[in-house]
A and B are shown apart, each in its own frame.
Chain A
Amino acid sequence: MRTLLLSVFLLLVVMGCGKDKNDPAEYIDQAPAFWGEEDCQGGLSVKAGPITGYTSTGGYLWAALVRNGQLYKAGNAIYIDAGSFTVGALWVGTSHLEIPEGLYEYHIYLTIDSNDVGDITRRDLEAGPMYYSLEYGSAADTNCVKIIQGDSVYFVVVTDGYGYKSIEVWDSSAGSQGYAWSALLNGDSLDNRWLVQLNANGLYFPLKVTDNNEDLRWIINAVKTSSPYNVVTAEVVVNKPARLGSQYNAYDDQISYWANVHAVPVAILKGLVDKESNKVGGEFDTSSYRYEPFTVDFAMITYNTGPLNPSALWHTPYNKYHMGIPEWLPWGPMAAGTLLVAADTMPAVLLYGAQVQDQNGDGYLSANEYLAISGQGDSWEHTIPEDSDFVAQTTIASSYGMAQLLWSTAVAPMAWNGGNGGNPHYLFHPDLILNLGAKYLRSRYLKYRQGNWYMDWRNALAYYNDDAGNYPYADDILINLVNLYQPQGDKR
């Protein structure tokens, strides 16, 4: 964890400064108290005050950090009337993200014309410079704990004989209402901000990434059991990881982002992607693709036993993206879906790693041509009547991309585009498929959780793969893959 070590020193400038060129009686106190304050999110305020002085005109009092003669950062302006004035404090707000280590000048300016506020060359009165030295150090701040997404942080509360009744975790963005321990036990009701529930001891806090834009901050309070009911407070800052494990790192940012959005443990999501994706060139293959000839196409698309009887090919939105059918195959002749584009049709359709050939050269890949592939370990040929043949609807009966979601899953339960879906090849886009996949995994977690973190995510993964619960699938991810993709490094 990196923290700031601030050292502030004051240099008084005695010659000429603080005097208006036309009225020597006008001045700004040259030696106000001067200090820097940091918060847990890396925010930094350089403050001075109280500030006294006199102005015959009134104007705007403001402070600025200056470096190498250039304005670096201006603070807010405070209007003062003509006459003697005392201002409690002026400050310049910035953050670790925008201010590097170094020596800064801190000036206080009085500007009469409001249009000149922020322009250090057009000030009317000035105090300073005071010198502000900023450096990053290693001093630990026990009240400000910084972790990375997916990390765990443990708190040990040392009692003083009166004990503590609970540790509370508050989301400060909820204002004074906040949420306490009891709410945490049902943490998923809190707008999915919790990644997991607390464990039995209440010491386990994997939390979503701190987001200053959403004012998402995590405050840990330990509350005493008896009077005085004072509180020990710490804040947890959760930063984005630089990488997830040491392999297949090209899409770590997207995986981290969507894991965080949908409150999925980030290593679990990457483990799922590993499980579902082919690998190409040392990275996940974003164009992983699998046509499902029997379970989806035969049973639910072309010859439908589901809601879209007798064939999904006539139903919206399937009718917009299906393959064309010649007149000699079932349901033909049928033109290709009106919204289908060339990128949706795979140039070389693969079935379990083998390329399917258009053997009769009629321009259509049919069921029989899939059956011609041998040794694939798939016995769908047992079930489909031998004399049946139909156009393989590779566009709408396939699973896609890094999360291997079916196009039909994206359309229906995930309500992609209001249930209208989109061009199948869009699902190769990492952001879209990771968004849908993480969202679907989260829905499995919410559906099957029972209060035990590990088992709840085991259930989520098992039911992600199939609705009967594929636990070998889940265990492979949790036991063998998650450890490979632990978050590393701090990407602030």
Chain B
Amino acid sequence: MKSVTFVLLLIALPYWAAGGGKPSELDFSALDIPATDRAIVETFMPDVIAEWLKAREIVPEALNQYICIVRGDAFRGDSAQPILTIYYSDGLGSGAIRIIDRSTGSANLVWQTDSASGGGWPGLRFIDLDCDSVKEMIAQSISATGNWSVMIVRRTGSTYRIISGRGEGYGLGGRLIEYRDLDGDCIKEVVVERDKDKKFDMKDKKVFRLDKGAGIYRIDTTLSRSIQK
């Protein structure tokens, strides 16, 4: 019992010392993760999310709809690594993605997005898009009406970089987003489909190519026709 307490203190003390620890009125018991991970989730929760949840009097059972947690080094597909990737979102555009490394015995925040990075219902996928054996993180969210949007994050060594953000300039939002190597170069293209006109109309398809240096850009849509069944 003493050792458990000691471990918890090891994890918690650095945050309290840094002013990051904050008492919470939220009940995290419904999160389907070990108690030590729940403490980290709580400690690194953005204030904007915590305040929103408290203001809404979210019932504990519903809390897990706003917090997506991936345990392990998902970039490498190594679930044994003491890393947590947490996507907080209020579903209304506020939130953040935070990667916590516990390999040194304490929890260290190694990367995060700004507080405006939340979207709708949060989700995290890890797919090796650029064929370098390191997976990219795809932070996806579902909008109110059922459209997806994604933000893609690449890790190179210990550096994380957003290579596609949300917004009009990126276009990575639509009814369907899939990742397929269309031209056989081992790099997966991003295929985005939107409702063409009204919601119950047919789809409009666009294709984006991943570039290892520059990020992601849209390519000629004639290619998209080649993937129609």
A residues with CB within 8 A of B: 275-276, 278, 288, 290, 292, 294-296, 299-300, 304-309, 315-317, 352-353, 376-383, 399, 404-406, 408-409, 411-415, 418-420, 437, 440, 443-444, 447-448, 462-473, 476
Say which residue of B63, B166, B176 sits within 8 Å of A379 (CB atoms): B176
Q: Is the CB of B145 within 8 A of A377?
A: no
Q: Please give me the residue from chain A that is nearest to B64 by CB atom.
A: A307
Q: Please give me the residue from chain A that is nearest to B165 by CB atom.
A: A468
Q: Is the CB of A467 within 8 A of B147?
A: yes
- List the B side residues contacting A308 at CB < 8 Å: 64-65
- List the A side residues contacting B200 at CB < 8 Å: 278, 288, 290, 352-353
Q: Is the CB of A413 within 8 A of B62?
A: no
Contact A409-B121, Cβ < 8 Å, known A275-B198, A419-B62: yes
Min CB–CB distance B130 → chain A (angstroms): 19
**0 or 1 for each of B89-104: is its CB under 8 Å from A? (1 = yes):** 0111110000000000
**0 or 1 for each of B44-70: is its CB under 8 Å from A? (1 = yes):** 000000000000111101111111110
| A–B complex contacts, Cβ < 8 Å, 26 sampled | A276-B199, A295-B148, A295-B175, A295-B177, A299-B140, A307-B65, A308-B64, A377-B202, A378-B203, A379-B227, A406-B146, A413-B92, A414-B91, A419-B58, A419-B62, A420-B59, A440-B92, A443-B93, A447-B93, A462-B168, A463-B93, A465-B147, A466-B143, A466-B145, A467-B93, A469-B167
- List the A side residues contacting B227 at CB < 8 Å: 379, 382
B residues with CB within 8 A of A: 30, 32, 56-59, 61-69, 87, 90-94, 119-125, 140-150, 166-168, 170-178, 180, 191, 193-200, 202-203, 205, 227-229
What CA separation (Å) do A379 and B177 show in the bound complex?
Answer: 10
Q: Is the CB of A296 within 8 A of B146?
A: yes
What CA separation (Å) do A368 and B116 show in the bound complex?
Answer: 38
Say which residue of A381, A419, A467 sits within 8 Å of B143 (CB atoms): A467
Q: Please give me the residue from chain A that is nearest to B56 by CB atom.
A: A415
- List the B side residues contacting A473 at CB < 8 Å: 195
Q: Please give me the residue from chain A that is nearest to B168 by CB atom.
A: A469
What CA separation (Å) do A412 and B93 show in the bound complex?
Answer: 13
Q: Is the CB of B194 within 8 A of A470?
A: yes
- List the B side residues contacting A463 at CB < 8 Å: 93, 143
- List the B side residues contacting A383 at CB < 8 Å: 176, 178
- List the A side residues contacting B92 at CB < 8 Å: 413, 440, 443, 447
Min CB–CB distance A372 → chain B (angstroms): 13
What CA separation (Å) do A21 and B36 show in the bound complex?
Answer: 92
Q: Is the CB of B144 within 8 A of A464?
A: yes
Say which residue of A443, A447, A468 sits within 8 Å of B149 (CB atoms): A468
Say which residue of B57, B67, B146 sits within 8 Å of A307 (CB atoms): B67
Min CB–CB distance A220 → chain B (angstroms): 34
Say which residue of A295, A307, A464 sits within 8 Å of B69 (CB atoms): A307
Q: Is the CB of A379 within 8 A of B149?
A: no
- List the A side residues contacting B180 at CB < 8 Å: 382
What CA separation (Å) do A221 and B90 show in the bound complex?
Answer: 40
What CA separation (Å) do A418 and B122 show in the bound complex?
Answer: 19
Say which residue of B58, B173, B175 sits within 8 Å of A415 (CB atoms): B58
Contact A466-B149, Cβ < 8 Å, known A378-B175, A405-B144, A411-B62: yes
